[in-house]
Amino acid sequence: KTIREFKKNINLNITFFKISSNKEINNELIYCENIDNIKTEKSISVEKFDRIEISKLSNFIKKNLISINDKIQINEDNSKYYLILCEFNYNSKNSKEVIINNKINDELLKIKNNFLFEQKIKYKFKLYE
Protein backbone atom coordinates (compact mmCIF):
# COMPACT_ATOMS: atom_id res chain seq x y z
CA LYS A 1 0.00 0.00 0.00
CA THR A 2 1.34 3.40 -0.96
CA ILE A 3 1.04 6.10 1.67
CA ARG A 4 0.44 9.53 0.23
CA GLU A 5 0.80 12.70 2.21
CA PHE A 6 1.21 16.40 1.64
CA LYS A 7 4.63 18.00 1.51
CA LYS A 8 5.29 20.27 4.42
CA ASN A 9 6.55 23.86 4.20
CA ILE A 10 5.20 24.62 0.73
CA ASN A 11 2.31 26.84 1.85
CA LEU A 12 -0.27 24.49 0.44
CA ASN A 13 -3.93 25.48 0.74
CA ILE A 14 -6.92 23.39 -0.20
CA THR A 15 -10.51 24.17 -1.06
CA PHE A 16 -13.10 21.65 -0.02
CA PHE A 17 -16.85 21.47 0.43
CA LYS A 18 -18.99 20.21 3.27
CA ILE A 19 -22.16 18.61 1.91
CA SER A 20 -24.91 17.75 4.36
CA SER A 21 -28.55 16.80 4.33
CA ASN A 22 -31.16 15.28 6.58
CA LYS A 23 -31.92 12.91 3.71
CA GLU A 24 -29.71 10.24 2.20
CA ILE A 25 -27.32 11.64 -0.45
CA ASN A 26 -26.32 9.50 -3.40
CA ASN A 27 -22.57 9.11 -2.95
CA GLU A 28 -22.02 8.83 -6.71
CA LEU A 29 -23.35 12.36 -7.23
CA ILE A 30 -20.74 13.89 -4.95
CA TYR A 31 -17.84 15.07 -7.06
CA CYS A 32 -16.37 18.52 -7.69
CA GLU A 33 -17.79 19.07 -11.17
CA ASN A 34 -21.26 18.44 -9.78
CA ILE A 35 -21.17 20.88 -6.84
CA ASP A 36 -23.27 23.51 -8.64
CA ASN A 37 -25.98 20.93 -9.32
CA ILE A 38 -25.88 19.73 -5.73
CA LYS A 39 -26.36 23.33 -4.52
CA THR A 40 -29.68 23.54 -6.36
CA GLU A 41 -31.14 20.72 -4.27
CA LYS A 42 -33.27 22.25 -1.50
CA SER A 43 -32.68 19.40 0.91
CA ILE A 44 -28.88 19.59 0.60
CA SER A 45 -26.64 22.16 2.25
CA VAL A 46 -23.26 22.97 0.68
CA GLU A 47 -20.62 24.96 2.53
CA LYS A 48 -17.36 25.99 0.87
CA PHE A 49 -14.07 26.12 2.77
CA ASP A 50 -11.82 28.18 0.52
CA ARG A 51 -8.02 28.08 0.60
CA ILE A 52 -7.60 26.52 4.02
CA GLU A 53 -3.99 26.01 5.11
CA ILE A 54 -3.06 22.36 5.33
CA SER A 55 -1.40 22.94 8.70
CA LYS A 56 -4.77 23.98 10.17
CA LEU A 57 -6.55 20.76 9.23
CA SER A 58 -6.93 17.70 11.41
CA ASN A 59 -4.71 14.71 10.69
CA PHE A 60 -7.79 12.71 9.76
CA ILE A 61 -8.65 15.16 6.97
CA LYS A 62 -5.03 15.42 5.80
CA LYS A 63 -4.73 11.64 5.53
CA ASN A 64 -8.02 11.13 3.71
CA LEU A 65 -8.31 14.12 1.38
CA ILE A 66 -5.25 13.77 -0.82
CA SER A 67 -6.47 14.03 -4.40
CA ILE A 68 -9.11 16.06 -6.17
CA ASN A 69 -12.56 14.47 -5.66
CA ASP A 70 -11.43 12.52 -2.60
CA LYS A 71 -14.28 12.50 -0.13
CA ILE A 72 -14.91 11.35 3.38
CA GLN A 73 -18.14 10.69 5.17
CA ILE A 74 -18.41 11.94 8.74
CA ASN A 75 -21.09 10.81 11.16
CA GLU A 76 -21.65 12.89 14.25
CA ASP A 77 -24.59 13.69 16.50
CA ASN A 78 -27.11 11.72 14.45
CA SER A 79 -26.16 13.60 11.30
CA LYS A 80 -24.04 12.66 8.35
CA TYR A 81 -22.06 14.86 6.01
CA TYR A 82 -19.39 14.60 3.37
CA LEU A 83 -16.19 16.54 2.84
CA ILE A 84 -14.86 16.62 -0.70
CA LEU A 85 -11.52 18.04 -1.85
CA CYS A 86 -11.86 20.16 -4.98
CA GLU A 87 -8.80 22.37 -5.36
CA PHE A 88 -5.15 22.85 -4.40
CA ASN A 89 -3.55 26.28 -4.15
CA TYR A 90 0.13 26.88 -3.64
CA ASN A 91 2.95 29.23 -4.54
CA SER A 92 4.75 27.44 -7.35
CA LYS A 93 8.03 29.33 -6.96
CA ASN A 94 8.19 28.79 -3.22
CA SER A 95 7.31 25.12 -3.60
CA LYS A 96 10.07 24.54 -6.14
CA GLU A 97 12.60 26.22 -3.84
CA VAL A 98 11.59 24.03 -0.91
CA ILE A 99 11.79 20.88 -3.03
CA ILE A 100 15.22 21.85 -4.40
CA ASN A 101 16.48 22.65 -0.90
CA ASN A 102 15.24 19.28 0.35
CA LYS A 103 17.05 17.49 -2.48
CA ILE A 104 20.26 19.41 -1.73
CA ASN A 105 20.01 18.54 1.96
CA ASP A 106 19.46 14.87 1.11
CA GLU A 107 22.54 14.83 -1.13
CA LEU A 108 24.64 16.58 1.51
CA LEU A 109 23.59 14.02 4.08
CA LYS A 110 24.58 11.18 1.72
CA ILE A 111 27.98 12.79 1.10
CA LYS A 112 28.54 13.27 4.83
CA ASN A 113 27.59 9.69 5.65
CA ASN A 114 29.77 8.34 2.84
CA PHE A 115 32.71 10.45 4.01
CA LEU A 116 32.31 9.23 7.60
CA PHE A 117 32.09 5.64 6.43
CA GLU A 118 35.28 5.98 4.37
CA GLN A 119 37.12 7.63 7.25
CA LYS A 120 36.08 4.89 9.65
CA ILE A 121 37.53 2.31 7.27
CA LYS A 122 40.68 4.32 6.61
CA TYR A 123 41.44 4.80 10.32
CA LYS A 124 40.06 1.40 11.38
CA PHE A 125 37.56 3.00 13.69
CA LYS A 126 36.12 0.84 16.46
CA LEU A 127 33.40 1.95 18.80
CA TYR A 128 33.89 0.91 22.41
CA GLU A 129 31.09 1.05 24.89
Number of other residues whose CB lies within 10 A of the CB of residue 97? 13
The reported pLDDT for the residue numbered 90 is: 78
pLDDT of residue 18: 97
**Intervals of the chain under pLDDT 70:** 1-9
The whole-model pTM stands at 0.71
Q: Comparing C-alpha atoms, which of 54, 92, 85 is closest to residue 67?
A: 85
Name the phi and psi angles at 106, rounded to 5: -65, -45
Q: Which of 5, 18, 2, 8 is nearest to 65 (CA)?
A: 5
pLDDT score at 60: 92
pLDDT at 85: 97
Determine the pLDDT at residue 76: 83
Q: What is the pLDDT of residue 2?
A: 64
Q: What is the pLDDT of residue 4?
A: 67
Question: Do residues 46 and 61 lie in contact, with contact meaning Cβ atoms separated by under 8 Å?
Answer: no
Q: In what order do the strands lie in the sheet with 13-21?
A: 44-53, 13-21, 79-89, 71-76
